[in-house]
Chains A and B, each alone.
Chain A
Amino acid sequence: MIGELERQGLGPTGNDFPGDQEPPRLRRAPSRASDRNYPRYDWSADPAEEEDGAGNAEAPPEIRTLPWPMERKRAVRQVQQMRAHVSFGAESWRRNKTKSLRKLQQNVREFLYFFSLWRKSLQKIGGNFGGGVKSYFVFLRFLVVLNFVSFLLIAGFVIAPSLVRRSAGTGGFVNSTDKESCLVYDPNPQGLVVFYEFFLHLLSGTGFMEDSFMFYGYYNNNTAVEDGSLSYNIPLAYLFTAAFYFAFCLCCIIARMGTAARVAVATGGRAIGNYSLIVFTGWDYGCLGDRATKLKQKNIYYRLQVDLEEERIKKRAASLTPWRKVALYTLRVLMFLIALGLIGTAFYGIFEATKFSQENGDRFGILGLFIEYLPSIVITTGNFLVPLLCDQIALLEKYSPSITVVVALLRAVVLRLVSLGILLFTLWSQITCSGDLEKEDCGNCSYNNKKYQCWETSVGQEMYKLTLFDLLVTIALLVLVEFPRRMVVDNWSSKLSQLVGRQEFVVPSNVLGLVYGQTVVWTGALFCPLLPLINTIKFVILFYCKKITLFCNCRPALKTFRSTTSTFFFLVVLLFGWGLALVAMIYSLAVIHPSYACGPFRFFTTMWAIVPNSFYSLSEVTQEFLFFIGSQAFSIPLFALSCVVMCYFIALASIYGRSVAMLKAQLKLEGQDKQFLVKQIEKMKRNNI
């Protein structure tokens, strides 16, 4: 015990006056603090002896994890190497193995270093604008890689075999049915072509684009047969690739969420306390330059101010009279209803626009193009105006700053994703005559044959138009709004330009734009296999555009978005989008009758029907095995086992939480013990004098 006190630097205090009431810590002799806080390295420990004693000895800690100057670390390494020469057998073999494993890990890390896309740009962005903006670009990079890999998947399994199949030349066989009228489909009407038709076709996905690998309608339903031995079932491949694409994206997102989630759980959900965290971990050592440093300092000051003020507000709110509380809550409910009304109006507008566009879709020329793009235009306008108005509403609601941000984000997410859902719903009601298959338009072919000879291609075209319009609007905003705004603010100093100021890079709304774009791609991938490639190119263009606008037109935001919790939030929102696309895909696969006139699934009742058909062509053993896996005899024990495993982990987690609390209490007690003992020592010394 005395040794412990001495180790903490409380040496004998013979020189001090007994009546001194200073806290014990100040009375030590000044010594090198670094020694006190260094971890102890056991120079005398012999790894060979430990091996004999305990069954599994731990490897000595890696030298570089010891916080010592280089000379000391070198000395330790030499000692270790001398020991390594002395010991033999399994011990040295294991040590060599760990060493080579570490070297391998290091080599892999250095190798992957080269492949990291846009690393220098991200570093520059993070240094000048902070972690929040950098997390947007990191998210964008993740989506680019995801889309590119998905495209490779689709190209390998669907497009390449179709290419081979087409060049092999044999046409598809045609089942003779009585549905003659349903087989009419001509994507490429010949005749006089106006000169700008090419451009119109490019923008709307019709004409030469429709009759290409872009869209579902181009693929055939034949099984490629080469030399009678090799067969490739293209329809089955198409279906399974689409399903696997969704599963693959889900795995990537969950894997990325894993790290962020682990950290979020470790911090115990609730932050230990904002102030310590901001002060101890607030500084970003990657900040470059005087300007960025001053901004970071202002940022930290602002955060501290906001927290201190929130504390004061909370104290004040707790002391509100009941009448004022009631008034505040009624105001909040009213504002909520107004916001809901605004969002509902936007939805109705989208519904009407889509219906109008689908009904009048056969006009030509520029007017026709405008009508075709009407849903996209309405969605974009709604997504722009409604959050602005909701922001104004939020000013009246008087929530605390953190809750305001979350509420605004939730509203924007709901708006974006549900507006896309409304668009899909409208399309569905047009294609299947609102589900009523007895109507005269749908009675013949179980889908609206008059309007859509090939409905899957039409859906694909709609998604393609949405993607393209999104990109065009971003570039147009960049050129027509952001650059002029900067030029006006910089060169014309007036009260108005001071008020408006340079633009801020608002991370949440930009991220929602990315999520929206990715959801559109997921929805359309089944009907337009090349859409992931188009999306990759679009996101790459977007990266460079946003980077240019960031460095030229934006000033860094004062209110920042925390980087790791925000990454988790972005991925959660992306999962919502994935869920919406999944619902759309499952519905199209399982319920709607595929077109008779085009595509690999003609003459099946639903797209899914090909799986049971192919299933019966498998061998007996495989069929029985698959039946067994699907039966109750297998799934119920599996379910029970996973419940048990989950309960185990939950129990483990709660035990860890409890032991952390216990250790904290123990620390407190030890501190009190220490104070008590020090006082005893002083008393005894005083008595001895």
Chain B
Amino acid sequence: MGSTSSQLDKDALSEYQELTFLTKQEIILAHERFSAMLPQEYKGATNIRLPMEKILEMPELKSNPFNKRICHVFSTSQPNDGSLTFEDFLDLLSAFSEAATMEIKSHYAFRIFDSDNDGTLGREDLEKMVTLLTGDSKDTSLNGEEMGQLINNILEESDIDKDGTVNLSEFQHVISRSPDFVSSFKIVL
């Protein structure tokens, strides 16, 4: 098609500006990037879902060890398969944007780390998280004893009500003490 694929109309643009933390330029840029990933026959249609594999080809997400978890958290598809519509994509960028508040970022960080979606970070969640953080290769993975020592230390520091798991408030309490979190939890196109 000759014309540029579906420009955003002004109403939608101002609505997105109000509902997300993104600036006008960022929303337009996101729209361009999203449309560029759509297959040719769907360009110009709205409410299309991009499958997770396509999203993971973006350079910003490609090598991120948490990329699959991120897609699952922001996806609104009914059997959750990690596919994103444009609005899910905007939600993702809004949570990772420069202007987003600490509360929103810590909320979504918690959900990304919660691999089994049970609302708390148990030992398995923490172990999976540490493995993703340090990488899978042999020279950067902790052995069993070190992992156990680490998880014990983490639980001792952050589990205030001593129930063996870290819930959202405890997580946010730890995060609020970190000066670097807001600036490192950022993805900018």
Chain A residues in the interface with B (C-beta under 8 A): 9, 23, 25, 32-34, 36-37, 63-65, 67, 69-71, 73-74, 77, 106, 109-110, 113, 123, 131, 260, 263-264, 266-268, 271-273, 275-277, 279-290, 292-294, 297-298, 300-301, 304-305, 308, 562-565, 664, 667-668, 670-672, 674-675
Contact = CB atoms under 8 A, between A and B. Distances in A.
B82 to A, nearest CB: 14
B140 A298 contact: yes
A586 B111 CA distance: 58
Nearest to A102: B18
17 contacts: A25-B120, A37-B119, A67-B104, A70-B20, A109-B23, A272-B177, A277-B174, A279-B126, A280-B109, A281-B184, A283-B65, A285-B186, A293-B63, A301-B134, A301-B141, A304-B150, A675-B163
Contacts of A70: 19-20, 87-88, 90-91
Given A67-B104, A667-B169, 19 more contacts: A9-B119, A34-B117, A37-B168, A69-B91, A73-B19, A272-B174, A273-B157, A275-B157, A279-B130, A283-B184, A286-B184, A286-B188, A297-B133, A298-B135, A301-B140, A301-B142, A304-B146, A304-B150, A671-B162
B79 interface: no
B34 interface: no
Contact of B59 (A23, A288, A301, A563): A288
A267 B146 CA distance: 27
Given A64-B20, A297-B134, A301-B140, A284 B103 contact: no
B154 A276 contact: yes
A263 B90 CA distance: 29
B180 interface: yes
Given A289-B63, A297-B140, A671 B163 contact: yes
Contact of A279 (B108, B117, B154, B164): B154
B130 A565 contact: no
A65 B153 contact: no
Chain B interface helix/strand/loop/mixed? helix
A304 B101 CA distance: 28
Interface string B63-94: 11110000000001000000000011011001
Contact of A300 (B59, B99, B119, B133): B133
Nearest to A268: B177
Interface in B130-155: 130, 133-135, 137, 140-142, 146, 149-150, 153-154
Interface in B30-51: none
B107 interface: yes
Contact of A301 (B117, B135, B156): B135
Contacts of B162: 668, 671-672
Contacts of A289: 59, 63
A268 B178 CA distance: 10
Contact of B179 (A267, A284, A308, A675): A267
Interface in B109-128: 109-111, 113-114, 117-120, 126
